Amino acid sequence: MFTKRLYDENSYIREFDARVLSCEEGKNGYEVVLDESAFFPEGGGQPADQGFLNDVRVTDVRDKKDYVLHICSQSLEPGSLVHGRIDWERRFLHMQQHSGEHIFSGIVHRLHGYDNIGFHMGKDFVTVDFSGLLTEEEIAEAERQANTVVLANERILAEYPCARELETLEYRSKKEIDGAVRIVTVPGADVCACCGTHVKRTGEIGPIKVTSSEHYKTGIRLTLEIGWRALEDYEEKHRNVKAISALLSVKPEETAAAVQKQQELMQELRLQNNGLKQRLFEMMVKEIPEGQEKTVIFEDGLNAVEIRKLADMLSERTGLAAVFSGSDGEGYKYVVCSRQKDAAALGKDLNRELNGRGGGKNPMIQGSVQAEKAQIREFFEKVY
């Protein structure tokens, strides 16, 4: 069987007529082969097309070397004629993403000599892995040059050079390719072996924006927003900046400085709060008679570190110190500390009796319980 690949000749074909060569039920649906197809099968990092053959949904498309396999929701009669319709909005997004990635990868290769060693086109963004590291300044420069190519509205060429031309042609390729090699050329940006679909001119791609970077193996992984997705990303961030500027009563361009000021203020308040809590804890400890057998305290609004600190301070004046913070409805976090008694053994009984979780080693245990304050007090009265 052989399928003529219409997308290879013209990636803008949205509808076509074809004859069904075969149809067999498979694991994920009915596997249909056509004599020709404009549906692009998954390959080179680009997802497969979706759409319809007559009224039958095409959910996936796979490349089987000589033919294209369409995974369909229903069977189609072999020998019958069908009308194919591609989900064009989805396809055009993929064309934008793929063409934009070519430009960016080609420019990084030209500027720094790094290879594109991984490319994934996700639902909301594109990730590209490069074989070397890039600074923020180098990423910004590659992005600027890529958008310059987009604005130049250069024509993108997809051709099959003859063997003699290939021998002298310098082009990017992730793997060795046998037979005819399809070369995609973006003037001023990239020459690359590629089987994917692309826009006709770079101006159709729209903006290219790097939104994040991270180390990956010995190189770097970049996340790109391209075309309509870049505009959607900008719109979302613009709405967020406007909301933040309104909350802080500053102009949008002043939000970063205003947030920095808020952080500094919060740090000052946090230090003041820590100082006040330290004084409160010291006052609470002084109120405990020295040598008291046990002390059980409930204090609202303490975090785990503060609970532990208060329990440790109390244990210097009492045989056993237990500090709880929380509520009857949501439960309590706790720390039990003792320099005289077996706190670890007590913790096992406490967790069993009060529906708790946690533990530790002497002299301190910590965890949480789902019990009411009265039940907790009753437990300590009964145990000690």
Query: pLDDT by residue (tens digit) across 312-346?
Result: 999 998 999 999 999 999 999 999 999 888 999 99
Q: How far is CA 64 from CA 29, 41, 68, 86, 88, in A?
A: 16, 9, 6, 20, 23
- 178 contacts: CB under 8 Å, gap ≥ 6: none
pLDDT at 234: 96
pLDDT at 177: 66
Q: Which of 278, 363, 370, 279 is nearest to 322 (CA)?
A: 363
- Long-range CB contacts (within 8 A, 24+) of 257-262: none
Give the integer Cα–Cα distance in Å for 107 and 186: 10
Planar angle of CA 216, 226, 207, nearest 5 degrees = 125
Q: How far is CA 21 from CA 1, 8, 93, 110, in A?
A: 8, 20, 30, 45
Q: Which of 141, 22, 106, 113 is nearest to 72 (CA)?
A: 22
Which of the residues in the chain have pLDDT under 50?
none
pLDDT at 216: 93
The partner residues of 300 in beta bridges, in order of sequence, read none
The gap from C-alpha 362 to its chain's centroid, in whole angstroms, comes to 42
Q: Which of 27, 102, 14, 104 is nearest to 59 (CA)?
A: 27
What Rg, from alpha-carbon coordinates, does the chain have? Answer: 33
DSSP tag of 48: P
Give the integer Cα–Cα distance in Å for 281 and 312: 11
Structure token pair of residue 46: 């680009």
Q: How far apart are the first and last CA of the chain?
A: 85
Structure token pair of residue 148: 């310059």
List the 364-369 sheet strands across, edge first.
295-298, 321-327, 331-337, 364-369, 356-361
Q: What is the pTM of this model?
A: 0.77
Give the integer Cα–Cα distance in Å for 310 and 277: 10
Give the integer Cα–Cα distance in Å for 149 and 103: 8
pLDDT at 245: 96
Structure token pair of residue 182: 């399809």
Cis peptide before 187, with omega less than 30 degrees from 0? Answer: no
